[in-house]
């Protein structure tokens, strides 16, 4: 195997070691975010099988493009944690790591003689992120839970879509990605407590997939408690008007947001109808919400008379927030994306250059970067087991023969 050299230490998390024993999406996305900022992420995969995401499309020349991007900046090793020797090695890795991330169904790690209570005895400073469908406690603890089902439990699906049609789930697993962001935030909070505030010890972070999305529901509990109101599907935002998607004369779609009275005044002037801002039906946001059908019709008619470029120039000039509803093809041509380097290109040794989202957000002093696409299965076995843990080539050969790695 070709010798793998570490890139120079970089990013604000250089020196932080993360053990990723998770699969597919939520917890691996959390560790991917940490890897963007320089953390060393060691990804543990089942020998001969790998992360299930390696088999999720879209594919290019037999390679999962999803996994190629999702597992960027990571070091893949193979290890069967169900075997006693594999469990012993996991503990060795935990002993030299700062963070471990997992998303097994609650109780699975404990069945393998692993889990947080075992890990903290090995390394009291370890921070462990545990993401599951419904969390480590409660009557749903042992239920199988994927992103779409957890979005349904969160309340998001119920309010998404049109009133005359069934509830609508997002077209991608929002719950997994939201949980990944909350997971990365919680890891950094736990590390800050451990290192900066003198806590000196790590802790376990317990996150259910539905909980991150429910946190985004923000005012729904208060609305139900205080007003007795069950929010229903409206086809779009309903707390402010006009906030909608409108079609232009050239068949493009434009998103317009007018969530304050001052912006509505600007919109009315831009439309050449300043009297709308004094109309009793529309002069305040609550009144516009009550008369949403009427104001949406007026705006839609104005937009429909113009090609998108003209509508954009007129509304941008008036200070009214609008945007083209962008396809990925539009995004590739968008000057804002180009100026911000929101799309980067990373060379993959198998399928060549791959476009992917850049590192977000941008740090002025120690920016993150992407050093490589997803590694081959077990690509870093020699480095991690040999150089880091001190196993000899003979020991590694035996472990491979036994199916441990």
Q: Do 96 and 162 fall within a single domain? A: yes
Is 286 a domain residue?
yes
Residue 359: CATH number of its domain: 3.40.50.10540
Same-domain status, 319 and 281: yes
Residue 230 counted as domain residue: no
* Distance separating alpha carbons of residues 244 and 263, to the nearest angstrom: 14
Per-residue pLDDT of 89-103, as tens digits, reads 999 999 999 999 999
- DSSP secondary structure, 47-104, as one string: TTT--GGGG-S-EETTEEHHHHHHTTTEEEEE--TTSHHHHHHHHHHHHT-SEEEE-P
Q: Is residue 194 domain-shared with residue 263, that is, in the same domain?
A: no
Identify whether 177 is part of a domain. Answer: yes
Say yes or no: 272 and 212 in one domain. no
For residues 207 and 81, membership in a common domain is answered with yes
Catalytic residue among 20, 36, 98, 176: 176
Question: Is residue 239 predicted with pLDDT exceeding 90?
Answer: no
**In a domain? residue 379:** yes
- The mean per-residue pLDDT over the stretch 109-136 comes to 97
pLDDT tier at 1 (50, 70, 90 boundaries)?
Answer: very low
Task: Indicate the DSSP class of residue 386.
Answer: I
**pLDDT class of 265 with cuts at 50, 70, 90:** very high
Total structural domains within the chain: 2
The CATH number of the domain holding residue 304 is: 3.30.1540.10
Choose the final residue of a domain: 313, 332, 351: 332
pTM tops 0.85: yes
**What number is the average pLDDT over the span 338-344?**
96
Same structural domain, 311 and 360: no
User: What tens digit of pLDDT does each residue of 212-225 get?
Assistant: 999 999 999 999 99
- Is 229 inside a domain boundary? no
Q: Are residues 256 and 391 in the same domain?
A: no
Domain stop point among 290, 314, 332: 332
Please tell me whether residues 137 and 270 are part of one structural domain: no
Whether residue 275 lies inside any domain: the answer is yes
For residues 293-320, average pLDDT:
97
Same domain, 301 and 349: no
**Domain extent for 319:** 243-332
Q: Are 292 and 241 in contact (CB under 8 A)?
A: yes
Q: Does residue 261 have an active-site annotation?
A: no
For the segment 147-173, the average pLDDT, to the nearest whole number, is: 92
- Is the model's pLDDT at 7 over the cut of 70? no
Q: Is residue 111 part of a domain?
A: yes
Residue 237 resides in a domain: no
Average pLDDT, the chain: 94
Task: Tell me how far CA of residue 107 lies from CA of 111, 130, 132, 245, in angstroms.
Answer: 6, 11, 11, 46
């Amino acid at each position: 195997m070709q010798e793998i050299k570490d890139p120079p230490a970089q990013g604000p998390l250089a020196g932080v070691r993360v053990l990723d024993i998770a699969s597919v999406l939520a917890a691996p996305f959390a560790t991917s975010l940490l890897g963007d900022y320089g953390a060393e992420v060691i990804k543990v995969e089942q020998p001969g099988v790998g992360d299930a995401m390696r088999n999720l499309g879209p594919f290019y020349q037999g390679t999962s493009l999803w996994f190629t991007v999702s597992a960027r900046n990571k070091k893949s090793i193979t290890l069967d944690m169900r075997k006693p020797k594999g469990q012993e090695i996991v503990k060795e890795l935990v002993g030299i790591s700062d963070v471990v991330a997992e998303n097994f169904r609650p109780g699975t790690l404990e069945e393998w003689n692993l889990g947080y209570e075992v890990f903290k005895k090995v390394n009291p400073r370890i921070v462990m992120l545990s993401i599951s469908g419904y969390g480590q406690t409660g009557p749903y603890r042992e239920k199988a839970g994927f992103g779409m089902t957890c979005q349904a439990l969160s309340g998001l699906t119920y309010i998404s879509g049109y009133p005359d049609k069934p509830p609508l789930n997002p077209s991608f697993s929002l719950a997994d990605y939201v949980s990944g962001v909350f997971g990365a935030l919680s890891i950094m909070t736990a590390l800050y407590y451990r290192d900066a505030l003198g806590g000196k010890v790590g802790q376990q972070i317990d996150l259910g997939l539905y909980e991150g999305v429910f946190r985004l529901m923000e005012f729904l509990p208060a609305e139900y408690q205080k007003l007795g109101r069950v929010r229903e599907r409206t086809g779009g935002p309903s707390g402010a008007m006009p906030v909608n998607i409108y079609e232009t004369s050239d068949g493009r779609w434009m998103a317009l947001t007018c969530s304050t009275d001052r912006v509505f005044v600007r919109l009315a002037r831009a439309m050449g109808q300043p009297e709308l801002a004094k109309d009793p039906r529309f002069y305040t946001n609550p009144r516009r919400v009550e008369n949403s059908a009427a104001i949406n019709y007026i705006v839609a008619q104005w937009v429909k008379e113009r090609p998108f470029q003209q509508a954009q120039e007129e509304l941008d000039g008036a200070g009214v927030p609008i945007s083209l509803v962008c396809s990925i093809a539009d995004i590739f041509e968008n000057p804002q994306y180009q100026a911000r380097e929101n799309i980067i290109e990373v060379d993959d040794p198998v399928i060549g250059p791959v476009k992917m989202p850049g590192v977000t957000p941008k740090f002025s002093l120690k920016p993150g970067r992407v050093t490589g696409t997803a590694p081959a299965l077990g690509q870093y076995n020699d480095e991690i087991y040999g150089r880091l843990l001190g196993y000899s080539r003979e020991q590694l050969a035996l472990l491979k023969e036994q199916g441990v790695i």
